[in-house]
Amino acid sequence: MLIEQSAYTNRWRRVSPAAKGTFSLCGMIAAYAAAAPTTACGVAAILCAVTVLGAGIPPVRYLRVAAPALLFLAVSVLSLAVSLKIGATAGDLSLHLARTELERVAHVCGRSLGGLAALLFLALTTPLSDIISLLRRCKLPDTLLDLMTLCYRTLFVLSETVHETITAQSARMGHATMTRSLRSLGGMIANLSVQVWQRSQALHLAALARNNDGALRFLEPDYPDSPRAISLAVISGLALIIMAVSLP
Protein backbone atom coordinates (compact mmCIF):
# COMPACT_ATOMS: atom_id res chain seq x y z
CA MET A 1 0.00 0.00 0.00
CA LEU A 2 1.53 3.26 -1.18
CA ILE A 3 -0.04 5.39 1.55
CA GLU A 4 1.18 3.09 4.32
CA GLN A 5 4.74 3.13 2.91
CA SER A 6 4.76 6.93 2.89
CA ALA A 7 3.23 7.11 6.36
CA TYR A 8 6.19 5.16 7.80
CA THR A 9 8.97 6.76 5.75
CA ASN A 10 8.09 10.46 5.52
CA ARG A 11 10.11 13.25 7.18
CA TRP A 12 7.36 13.97 9.71
CA ARG A 13 7.01 10.38 10.94
CA ARG A 14 8.18 11.39 14.46
CA VAL A 15 5.96 14.49 14.69
CA SER A 16 3.07 14.14 17.15
CA PRO A 17 -0.04 12.54 15.50
CA ALA A 18 -2.22 14.98 17.49
CA ALA A 19 -0.46 17.89 15.73
CA LYS A 20 -0.88 16.33 12.28
CA GLY A 21 -4.53 15.45 13.03
CA THR A 22 -5.22 19.02 14.19
CA PHE A 23 -3.68 20.54 11.05
CA SER A 24 -5.60 18.11 8.81
CA LEU A 25 -8.87 18.96 10.61
CA CYS A 26 -8.18 22.68 10.17
CA GLY A 27 -7.51 22.03 6.47
CA MET A 28 -10.92 20.33 6.09
CA ILE A 29 -12.65 23.20 7.91
CA ALA A 30 -10.83 25.71 5.67
CA ALA A 31 -11.93 23.80 2.52
CA TYR A 32 -15.56 23.94 3.72
CA ALA A 33 -15.30 27.56 4.90
CA ALA A 34 -13.82 28.88 1.63
CA ALA A 35 -16.28 31.30 0.04
CA ALA A 36 -14.94 31.07 -3.52
CA PRO A 37 -13.80 28.01 -5.51
CA THR A 38 -10.44 29.65 -6.18
CA THR A 39 -9.87 30.04 -2.43
CA ALA A 40 -10.74 26.35 -1.85
CA CYS A 41 -8.28 25.42 -4.64
CA GLY A 42 -5.70 27.66 -2.91
CA VAL A 43 -6.27 25.76 0.36
CA ALA A 44 -5.81 22.47 -1.56
CA ALA A 45 -2.58 23.78 -3.14
CA ILE A 46 -1.17 24.85 0.25
CA LEU A 47 -2.00 21.48 1.85
CA CYS A 48 -0.54 19.65 -1.14
CA ALA A 49 2.66 21.75 -0.99
CA VAL A 50 2.99 21.14 2.77
CA THR A 51 2.66 17.37 2.21
CA VAL A 52 5.05 17.18 -0.74
CA LEU A 53 7.66 19.76 0.30
CA GLY A 54 7.34 19.54 4.10
CA ALA A 55 6.83 15.81 4.66
CA GLY A 56 8.87 14.85 1.59
CA ILE A 57 6.27 12.77 -0.25
CA PRO A 58 7.31 12.21 -3.91
CA PRO A 59 4.90 14.14 -6.21
CA VAL A 60 4.34 11.13 -8.50
CA ARG A 61 3.32 8.96 -5.55
CA TYR A 62 1.01 11.76 -4.34
CA LEU A 63 -0.72 11.84 -7.75
CA ARG A 64 -1.03 8.04 -7.90
CA VAL A 65 -2.68 8.00 -4.48
CA ALA A 66 -5.07 10.83 -5.41
CA ALA A 67 -5.98 9.37 -8.84
CA PRO A 68 -9.03 7.18 -7.85
CA ALA A 69 -10.62 10.06 -5.92
CA LEU A 70 -9.97 12.45 -8.81
CA LEU A 71 -11.66 10.00 -11.20
CA PHE A 72 -14.75 9.94 -8.95
CA LEU A 73 -14.65 13.75 -8.88
CA ALA A 74 -14.44 13.97 -12.69
CA VAL A 75 -17.42 11.62 -13.22
CA SER A 76 -19.54 13.31 -10.54
CA VAL A 77 -18.71 16.83 -11.69
CA LEU A 78 -19.67 15.86 -15.25
CA SER A 79 -23.00 14.54 -13.94
CA LEU A 80 -23.56 17.81 -12.06
CA ALA A 81 -22.68 20.02 -15.02
CA VAL A 82 -25.16 18.29 -17.31
CA SER A 83 -28.85 18.97 -16.66
CA LEU A 84 -31.53 16.40 -17.48
CA LYS A 85 -34.98 17.56 -18.59
CA ILE A 86 -37.77 15.00 -18.25
CA GLY A 87 -40.65 15.62 -20.68
CA ALA A 88 -44.33 14.88 -20.28
CA THR A 89 -44.28 11.72 -22.38
CA ALA A 90 -42.29 8.59 -21.61
CA GLY A 91 -38.85 8.61 -23.21
CA ASP A 92 -38.90 12.40 -23.71
CA LEU A 93 -35.54 13.16 -22.11
CA SER A 94 -33.09 15.85 -23.07
CA LEU A 95 -29.58 16.61 -21.80
CA HIS A 96 -27.99 20.04 -21.89
CA LEU A 97 -25.09 21.85 -20.25
CA ALA A 98 -26.44 23.81 -17.29
CA ARG A 99 -24.55 27.10 -17.44
CA THR A 100 -26.16 28.29 -14.20
CA GLU A 101 -24.77 25.20 -12.49
CA LEU A 102 -21.16 25.83 -13.43
CA GLU A 103 -20.57 28.05 -10.39
CA ARG A 104 -21.92 25.35 -8.06
CA VAL A 105 -19.84 22.71 -9.84
CA ALA A 106 -16.69 24.82 -9.42
CA HIS A 107 -17.51 25.27 -5.72
CA VAL A 108 -18.00 21.50 -5.16
CA CYS A 109 -14.82 20.80 -7.12
CA GLY A 110 -12.74 23.25 -5.06
CA ARG A 111 -14.16 21.99 -1.76
CA SER A 112 -13.54 18.34 -2.70
CA LEU A 113 -9.95 19.07 -3.74
CA GLY A 114 -9.36 20.91 -0.46
CA GLY A 115 -10.89 18.06 1.57
CA LEU A 116 -8.92 15.45 -0.36
CA ALA A 117 -5.65 17.35 0.18
CA ALA A 118 -6.38 17.56 3.93
CA LEU A 119 -7.14 13.83 4.09
CA LEU A 120 -4.00 12.95 2.12
CA PHE A 121 -1.90 15.14 4.43
CA LEU A 122 -2.98 13.02 7.41
CA ALA A 123 -2.92 9.67 5.59
CA LEU A 124 0.50 10.13 3.98
CA THR A 125 2.24 11.41 7.12
CA THR A 126 0.67 9.35 9.93
CA PRO A 127 0.62 5.53 10.24
CA LEU A 128 -2.80 4.07 11.04
CA SER A 129 -1.57 2.67 14.38
CA ASP A 130 -0.85 6.27 15.48
CA ILE A 131 -4.30 7.39 14.31
CA ILE A 132 -5.90 4.55 16.35
CA SER A 133 -3.94 5.73 19.43
CA LEU A 134 -5.17 9.26 18.76
CA LEU A 135 -8.78 8.01 18.52
CA ARG A 136 -8.28 6.14 21.83
CA ARG A 137 -7.35 9.46 23.44
CA CYS A 138 -10.54 10.94 21.90
CA LYS A 139 -12.46 8.33 24.00
CA LEU A 140 -13.94 6.25 21.19
CA PRO A 141 -15.64 3.03 22.47
CA ASP A 142 -13.17 0.24 23.35
CA THR A 143 -15.00 -2.33 21.18
CA LEU A 144 -14.65 -0.15 18.08
CA LEU A 145 -10.96 0.47 18.84
CA ASP A 146 -10.42 -3.30 19.33
CA LEU A 147 -12.01 -3.93 15.92
CA MET A 148 -9.65 -1.35 14.40
CA THR A 149 -6.56 -2.75 16.15
CA LEU A 150 -7.33 -6.33 15.12
CA CYS A 151 -8.27 -5.29 11.60
CA TYR A 152 -5.02 -3.34 11.15
CA ARG A 153 -2.85 -6.11 12.59
CA THR A 154 -4.36 -8.90 10.50
CA LEU A 155 -5.07 -7.23 7.18
CA PHE A 156 -1.44 -7.47 6.06
CA VAL A 157 -1.36 -11.19 6.97
CA LEU A 158 -4.53 -11.79 4.95
CA SER A 159 -3.21 -9.63 2.05
CA GLU A 160 -0.05 -11.76 1.94
CA THR A 161 -2.17 -14.93 1.85
CA VAL A 162 -4.25 -13.46 -1.00
CA HIS A 163 -1.13 -12.60 -3.05
CA GLU A 164 0.37 -16.05 -2.51
CA THR A 165 -2.90 -17.79 -3.42
CA ILE A 166 -3.37 -15.70 -6.58
CA THR A 167 0.24 -16.47 -7.63
CA ALA A 168 -0.33 -20.20 -7.09
CA GLN A 169 -3.67 -20.09 -8.94
CA SER A 170 -2.20 -18.10 -11.84
CA ALA A 171 0.66 -20.61 -12.16
CA ARG A 172 -2.02 -23.27 -12.70
CA MET A 173 -3.90 -21.12 -15.30
CA GLY A 174 -6.54 -20.32 -12.68
CA HIS A 175 -6.99 -16.78 -13.99
CA ALA A 176 -6.70 -17.49 -17.72
CA THR A 177 -10.36 -16.79 -18.54
CA MET A 178 -13.10 -14.81 -16.86
CA THR A 179 -15.02 -17.92 -15.73
CA ARG A 180 -11.89 -19.56 -14.35
CA SER A 181 -10.91 -16.33 -12.64
CA LEU A 182 -14.30 -16.03 -10.94
CA ARG A 183 -14.12 -19.67 -9.85
CA SER A 184 -10.56 -19.30 -8.53
CA LEU A 185 -11.50 -16.11 -6.70
CA GLY A 186 -14.51 -17.87 -5.15
CA GLY A 187 -12.33 -20.78 -3.98
CA MET A 188 -9.79 -18.39 -2.51
CA ILE A 189 -12.38 -16.31 -0.62
CA ALA A 190 -13.99 -19.51 0.75
CA ASN A 191 -10.55 -20.65 1.93
CA LEU A 192 -9.89 -17.22 3.42
CA SER A 193 -13.26 -17.32 5.23
CA VAL A 194 -12.20 -20.52 6.99
CA GLN A 195 -8.84 -18.94 7.81
CA VAL A 196 -10.73 -16.06 9.45
CA TRP A 197 -12.27 -18.58 11.90
CA GLN A 198 -9.01 -20.44 12.46
CA ARG A 199 -6.86 -17.34 12.90
CA SER A 200 -9.37 -15.72 15.26
CA GLN A 201 -9.45 -18.89 17.40
CA ALA A 202 -5.64 -18.92 17.52
CA LEU A 203 -5.55 -15.21 18.43
CA HIS A 204 -8.12 -15.79 21.19
CA LEU A 205 -6.03 -18.63 22.66
CA ALA A 206 -2.87 -16.49 22.44
CA ALA A 207 -4.65 -13.61 24.21
CA LEU A 208 -5.96 -15.96 26.92
CA ALA A 209 -2.45 -17.33 27.44
CA ARG A 210 -1.36 -13.75 28.20
CA ASN A 211 -4.21 -13.23 30.72
CA ASN A 212 -6.14 -10.89 28.44
CA ASP A 213 -9.60 -10.23 29.82
CA GLY A 214 -10.72 -7.08 28.05
CA ALA A 215 -9.60 -4.36 25.67
CA LEU A 216 -6.48 -4.85 23.56
CA ARG A 217 -3.89 -2.26 24.50
CA PHE A 218 -0.41 -1.71 23.13
CA LEU A 219 2.46 0.51 24.21
CA GLU A 220 2.25 3.89 22.52
CA PRO A 221 5.41 5.67 21.36
CA ASP A 222 6.44 8.95 22.98
CA TYR A 223 6.69 12.02 20.79
CA PRO A 224 9.17 14.62 22.03
CA ASP A 225 8.20 18.26 21.53
CA SER A 226 4.49 17.38 21.28
CA PRO A 227 3.20 20.63 22.88
CA ARG A 228 5.37 22.70 20.51
CA ALA A 229 4.22 20.73 17.45
CA ILE A 230 0.55 20.98 18.50
CA SER A 231 0.83 24.75 19.08
CA LEU A 232 2.44 25.15 15.65
CA ALA A 233 -0.29 23.03 14.04
CA VAL A 234 -3.05 25.05 15.76
CA ILE A 235 -1.52 28.39 14.71
CA SER A 236 -0.92 27.36 11.07
CA GLY A 237 -4.34 25.63 10.89
CA LEU A 238 -6.11 28.74 12.22
CA ALA A 239 -4.17 30.89 9.74
CA LEU A 240 -5.42 28.61 6.95
CA ILE A 241 -9.04 28.92 8.14
CA ILE A 242 -8.77 32.73 8.51
CA MET A 243 -7.31 32.95 5.00
CA ALA A 244 -10.15 30.80 3.60
CA VAL A 245 -12.84 32.87 5.34
CA SER A 246 -11.41 36.31 4.66
CA LEU A 247 -10.50 35.93 0.98
CA PRO A 248 -13.40 36.79 -1.37
Partner 1 sequence: MHIMEGFLPVKHAIGWSIASAPFVVFGLHSINKRIKEKPEQRMLLGVAAAFTFVLSALKMPSVTGSCSHPTGTGLGAVLFGPAAMAPIGAVVLLFQAILLAHGGITTLGANIFSMAVVGPFAAAAIYRTAKTARLPFGLSIFLAASLGDLLTYVTTSAQLALAFPDPAGGFTASFVKFATVFALTQIPLAISEGFLTVIVLNALARFNPQELQEMNVVTAREVQG
166-195: contacts with partner 1 (CB under 8 A): 178, 181-183, 185-187, 189-194
Q: By the 8 A CB rule, do 20 and 122 touch?
A: yes
- Residue 122 within binding range of partner 1, rule CB under 8 A: yes
Residue 237's closest CA among 10, 14, 52, 24? 24
- Residue 1 within binding range of partner 1, rule CB under 8 A: yes
- Residue 120 within binding range of partner 1, rule CB under 8 A: yes
Q: How far apart are the first and last CA of the chain?
A: 39
- Residue 244 within binding range of partner 1, rule CB under 8 A: no
Residue 119's closest CA among 70, 58, 71? 70
Whole-number minimum distance, CB 106 to partner 1, in Å? 13
Give the total of residues touching partner 1 (CB under 8 A).
78
- Residue 138 within binding range of partner 1, rule CB under 8 A: no
Site for partner 1 in 206-225 (CB under 8 A): 207
What single letter denotes the amino acid at residue 54?
G
Up-side HSE of residue 144: CA atoms within 13 Å toward CB? 8
DSSP code of residue 85: E
- Residue 123 within binding range of partner 1, rule CB under 8 A: yes
Whole-number minimum distance, CB 228 to partner 1, in Å? 25
